[in-house]
Amino acid sequence: MEEDLKPRFIESLQRNNEQIREDRARTIGEDSELIYRRRVEDIELKIKRLEREQEGLIDISPLDKNSLTFADFQPEAFVQKDIELSLLIRNLNIQLEVSTKRFEYLFGKKF
């Protein structure tokens, strides 16, 4: 059983410079890839939430099923908010496109 045990600490001390650099590069690369992937996923999530919010703006249902009047609809506020959301979504889509391409370039993996 003792033959199966390896002195990891001693082996670590005996590594050569190339092995040390390879281990550090792998660690840095893995961390960076994970963080980059999360950032891109966060952008995707923001886009989905804003698109849902924008769709929610056009829900101008009547007060109740027997009513023909709409609940306090304010056209100016609707237009302003819709334009703001459209611009935010557009900017996030640009960020998503750029960051996805950059991820693929840096890490050699499809996103």
Tracing tokens 């092995």 back to the chain, one arrives at 19
**Per-residue exposure over 20-54, b if at least 16 CB sit within 10 Å of its own CB, e if not:** eeeeeeeeeeeeeeeebeeebeebbeebeebeeeb
- Tens of pLDDT, residue by residue over 45-104, are 999 999 999 999 887 766 666 665 666 678 899 999 999 999 999 999 999 999 999 999
Q: What is the pLDDT of residue 75?
A: 87
How many CA atoms does the CB half-sphere of 33 hold within 13 Å?
14
62 beta partners: 70
In the chain, where are the structural domains located?
Answer: 73-106
Tell me: pLDDT of 15 over 70: yes
